[in-house]
Structure 1
Amino acid sequence: MLKFELLKTDPAEGSYLGSHARRGTLTLNHGVVQTPIFMPVGTYGTVKGVMPQSLHDMGAQIILGNTFHLWMRPGLDVMEKFGGLHQFEKWDKPILTDSGGFQVWSLGEMRKISEEGVKFASPVNGDKLFLTPEISMQIQTTLNSDIVMQFDECTPYLSVEPKTKGLVTTEREARSSMELSLRWAKRCQEEFARLNNPNALFGIVQGGMHEHLRDESLAGLEALDFPGIAVGGLSVGEPKEDMMRVLKHIGPKLPKHKPHYLMGVGTPEDLIAGVQNGIDMFDCVMPTRNARNGTLFSRYGDLKIRNARHKSDPQPLDVTCTCHACAGKSGVSWADGGRDGFSRAYLHHLDRCGEMLGPMLASIHNLHYYLNLMQEVRDALDAGTFGAFVNQFHTDRARGV
């Protein structure tokens, strides 16, 4: 089941500001999601270092699972025993699973792509495996995810041809990849229907850095009438200006009565740019991955907790933040007089000592920042002040910590 209701568009839509921001609700089998939304990534059935209750507390409405990795471990026999991923990981809200296409792409020379599917050696035990659009649908049906992604070929930024490897993917390569993904999309749709999957299947726009190929991909998916549309193949190594060029081209063209999902993107600035171009849903490993590497996001820029200047700093990571790391049990930010949170000095100490509490608190903070950013976006859209919000966002982020 999927029902998308478009509640409001930015008053600046169509003006010289070029805003296509949208406010909506997405009703799925396991709950209602308020959009725009950021979705924490739980690759192996867990968001790294974060308890499910913490995700609830910070306002996570929907999380991701990874089809490829869950197929490898624990396997479909275990998933069937638990009736799917929700009961297995004890998460009662919606889940989106990717198709495995990106993971197959990331295997590089370890995989062989054909019209039928992809042959590769398991990165876990070396077993020879074959992943097809039909098998991807079967796996995701077993996982019982609320949103199922079509199996696609993630078009690389750099060429995959031996003679040109290391150069930008040619138009011919990008077209071949995009057309293969369209044929796979139809096969996914047919298998999804055969399985009587009660959830929702999204198609994925591909086409590399070529705007006209993106248009062709979108037209092909619209003809198949998927209930939701994703934009893939961005944030795969291309320069930021190319990513933004493609996003600004294709985002506003996505069907207005369906939810729009930008896959694997990105920084706080990327999320705001995505919303401005009509995107409703985002995911990225950046909040948790950066947290484990000592980089924290805040309203006033990014903070490197490993820097020596934080050794004795009593401030929290973000003086305006109400997450457990910054505000403690009280939930009152430093700016509002709270002093229950952990200091930058303590987080610096934990990182230097390799204590696992360090990346756990950092992950909680980063995810809270992303989720709260999307809440502020929704509030601004509700109030009709999104343009002013964007200006203040960029001013604050440029101020620095």
Structure 2
Amino acid sequence: MGFHLKITNYRGIRSVDFNPDGVCLLVGPNGSGKSTLLSAVELLRNTFVRGFEMAINMAGGPWITNFDLPDEPAIFEIETSDLRWELKIPADSSVGMEKVTQGDFASLVGNSRLKSLHDRPDPDIDYQKFENFIRILRQYRNYHNYDLWRLRKSGSQADSQAELQNYGQNAFSVLRNWHTSRPLRERYEFVTDTLREAFPSFFGELDFESAGQTVTIRIYPPGSDTSVPIYFASNGLLSAMLSLMAICSAPDGGIVGIDEPENGLHPYAIKMLVNAFRERAEERELTVLLATHSRFTLNRFKKEPHRVYVMDQKEKEQLVRLDNIRDPEWLKCFSLGDLYGNDFAIQEGYSETGGAE
């Protein structure tokens, strides 16, 4: 389905104009703004769901603007389902001013405009498209820094949630809820089927265990009746499980961001995960944003350089599609992972051969 995002003067981002669709990669040097971009959509989500002041606090506090433009406002525009929402935050982060536009309709500029229109719909707005915009925004998640140690040691608190939380701490409870729900069981099967493909020598099936209000799992290797406590499972398997659950938690037509999904994974497992992400994204019309440094992940996009976005602090427009940086015909001659850090996304302070200067 895709969406359009414009960001000006937000922390590490001076200017980004972004129109992704399907499974896309964000690559670039450390500190170029990849994680900041994923968190920007989360800031918009929290502004609508929790209010502006809480959203600012959840985003790390009142420092909002870029170091190079400390006195200019931060501006965000997100558009999908034919509706555009603009949020402008002054340098002192005192209040967020909003404007909502759809077709010939344009709201007055003020605070909490999107929330006000949701609570009291305007007759000039296409309400079905408006509700779809809200649904996609409300269910955006930015997945990063999975809490693998807590999952191993303490499991998940049992509850009725059907979506994975940002750090994955409710994973085992959500997975059990999917397993026992007829409408959601396909999510469970998608996760376990992909894990079998990605870890053919270790993962065959899983089972749930409960103690009080805690849920955990045990892994059964292929062809074995002996289970392995999740405490002893590899970080890669746990991380892959959570990333697959992240994709399944997104609504149809939705957006999901995952920061460094390749952590702990063998190249074969990365291949299987990217294939699964693409399959799910095509089936459910998802936009999946993957921030990565993995050369193996990049290699999976050799035929889709238009879905690789390169962030560079030195450029005026910080986010550029790879096929606009290098000739697509030239790119076909190489593995993208071999070019990363040398022919594009070069880390400042390193030579063209990849060594420290």
Give the TM-score taking structure 2 as reference length.
Answer: 0.36
TM-score by length of 1: 0.33
Greater relative CO, 1 or 2 (CA 8 Å, sep 6+):
2
> Is the helix fraction higher in 1 or 2?
1
